[in-house]
A and B are shown apart, each in its own frame.
Chain A
């Protein structure tokens, strides 16, 4: 079970012959993910990463390999179209790793995914991992450990930091979802929280947020009324100045809205305990699960 990806995942890599596709394709395969196909227009008929067939189009890949999940590494100007191609071909889980996708194009992809019932993750994200079963992303697999804590985050290395702390404390993860740092992302904190709430293999969720937008607040308000499992929060960017983009396209305090202080206030008001530092998270998890 877990969420979004597991051992039933049959992965297609769009952009498989590019530098990122090759490197991370190899890493995902080495982790044990079933990488069954790749797409690079004009390179159909080749084989790469030892035994993975390359196709010119997603439709051909779906017909030949029954791939059911796609991960996108193609350059930003072509990434939105790659996602639309995957969705049109019937793929129901699409993960966009690419950073720098124009926001208006993502708007179209976002609404099309909702209409078609596609689980869209990203863009500008580290992907999704279900430890021990499938790694669909760019995260280092070996820092994870199978277990029953779900992790949701907008960022890459901050998530790895917290996951590494968990793993070293002996706390395993059911799935870790990197939802991405852009203003418009396919899966929001709220969407991922709902998936974890319904997942019998998850006992607790760690919600990692940062400045910009009100995604974390919406998730917290929903959790207050609906969440059956404990949630622990961490918000980055208490020291971020207003009006400046902090690396991620979506990490910006605009018009006084989207501050870390406000997010922490809402999370706390909704009964979500928040950590002041990443290294406090494992202790809080143990306490919440009665392990301490």
Chain B
């Protein structure tokens, strides 16, 4: 789950991290009101959108007077960045940046612990830098037993060469960032850039969080930050129906039980020259209601012209799954997208017999099913 920059900064502020005193606006009038309250120039107007590359897209503007602010807010609120319409802007005081630093914490899968990443060259893509100049990045693993301790902050500050004037505020930023990472079960928390200002202080100028979805149940306050308007609408519907769905750009809708097999199904469709329209894992049960939800979800993507059911019946018997699909189709009398179905495993012959004489195209194997689906899709 992603949150906006302004939400990330509010979260960090609760942990004592100094951030610019900005506010978020959804209209030009609101932006003007915020500017009047802040009473300082220059101001920065920043698009709040769940897409990278907003700077290049013109989503960040520095303005020196009210006319420029209005124009900037108007422009940015009409932008669409990587397919997502900008609906909010953050208006905050511009600051005098002398030096930019990167500071982040990730949950590192390879070492099974949180790792702090720090780099004296901020404002850059850390992934790129990790490839081009890995020695410029400090990677400090936090011990799984006792976690984050004061000496870690000293090591990070020393590596970055933080000037004496900025140490107090840098320490507040570093401590607050790492404590917040643990407190909200983040999978990533980063400040980029962390700025050393002309007045010698340190300030968190931009921030980003990703969260461990498995731990969201512990944090209703974090869950409340979710902004459905920023997400693919079909994925929002899928989440409400408790379906594991990711939209892709193809024409063959895939309905599969199990995440690994669902990925394998997308791949085999592509292997035979088709384009998968989605990832969808309906879980082990494949009950009629779930199947009906899945069919409706997939076909509300108008690009879909064929559906490929790929079900491995293990504990769940294939005949029960077949019955679930037939029941689901009865609930949807107007359904007219061609369906290819492959059921393997327990009671597969019985299941195939049940589906004989229906409009469904039956396949015996995953490869055959994928080939048939691709052929129908291209007709």
Of B16-24, B109-117, B196-204, which stretch is located at the interface? B109-117
- B94 close to chain A: CB less than 8 A: no
A121 to chain B, nearest CB (A): 15
A176 to chain B, nearest CB (A): 12
- A259 close to chain B: CB less than 8 A: no
**Chain A residues near B112 (CB-CB < 8 A):** 107, 110-111, 184
Given contacts A161-B264, A239-B267, A279-B366, contact A143 B259 (CB under 8 A): no
Q: How far is the CA of A32 from the CA of B288 in the complex (A)?
A: 32
Given contacts A102-B212, A143-B345, contact A237 B113 (CB under 8 A): no
Check B261 against A161 for contact (C-beta < 8 Å). yes
**Chain B residues near A110 (CB-CB < 8 A):** 112, 144
- A183 close to chain B: CB less than 8 A: yes
Check B270 against A239 for contact (C-beta < 8 Å). yes
Q: How far is the CA of A55 from the CA of B112 in the complex (A)?
A: 33
B315 — nearest CB in chain A belongs to which residue? A140
Q: How far is the CA of A145 from the CA of B94 in the complex (A)?
A: 68
Residue of B270, B312, B365 ringed by the most chain A CB atoms within 10 A: B312
**Chain A residues near B109 (CB-CB < 8 A):** 183-184, 212-215, 250
Check A251 against B107 for contact (C-beta < 8 Å). no
**Chain B residues near A104 (CB-CB < 8 A):** 107, 182, 185, 212, 215
- A238 close to chain B: CB less than 8 A: yes
Contact with A along B329-345 (1 / 0, CB 8 A): 00000000000000011
- B6 close to chain A: CB less than 8 A: no
Identify which of B127, B267, B270, B314 contacts A143 (C-beta below 8 A): B314
- B258 close to chain A: CB less than 8 A: yes
**Chain B residues near A27 (CB-CB < 8 A):** 315
B345 to chain A, nearest CB (A): 6
Q: How far is the CA of A42 from the CA of B279 in the complex (A)?
A: 41
Identify which of B213, B244, B314, B365 contacts A160 (C-beta below 8 A): B314
- A129-149 interface (Cβ within 8 A of B): 138-140, 142-143
B145 — nearest CB in chain A belongs to which residue? A111
Q: How far is the CA of A70 from the CA of B290 in the complex (A)?
A: 32
Check A102 against B185 for contact (C-beta < 8 Å). yes
- A103 close to chain B: CB less than 8 A: yes
**Chain A residues near B312 (CB-CB < 8 A):** 157, 160-161, 164
Chain A contact residue count (CB 8 A cutoff)? 62
- A189-223 interface (Cβ within 8 A of B): 208, 210-215, 218
Check B346 against A140 for contact (C-beta < 8 Å). yes
**Chain A residues near B261 (CB-CB < 8 A):** 155-158, 161, 236
Check A239 against B215 for contact (C-beta < 8 Å). no
Chain B: interface size category: 35 or more
Identify which of A105, A142, A164, A208 contacts B344 (C-beta below 8 A): A164
- A118 close to chain B: CB less than 8 A: no
**Chain A residues near B127 (CB-CB < 8 A):** 255-257
Check B259 against A247 for contact (C-beta < 8 Å). yes
**Chain A residues near B236 (CB-CB < 8 A):** none
Q: How far is the CA of A103 from the CA of B314 in the complex (A)?
A: 29
- A70-110 interface (Cβ within 8 A of B): 76-77, 100-105, 107-108, 110
Check A103 against B260 for contact (C-beta < 8 Å). no
Interface residues of B (CB under 8 A from A): 107, 109-110, 112-113, 126-127, 144-145, 182, 185, 187, 212-215, 217-218, 244, 246, 248, 256-264, 266-271, 276, 279, 281, 284, 312, 314-315, 344-346, 365-367
- 8 closest cross-chain pairs (CB), A and B: A155-B260, A247-B259, A157-B258, A158-B260, A140-B314, A102-B215, A236-B263, A255-B127
Subset of 14 A-B contacts with CB under 8 Å = A102-B185, A139-B314, A156-B258, A157-B314, A158-B261, A160-B314, A161-B366, A236-B261, A236-B267, A239-B248, A240-B266, A245-B246, A257-B127, A277-B271
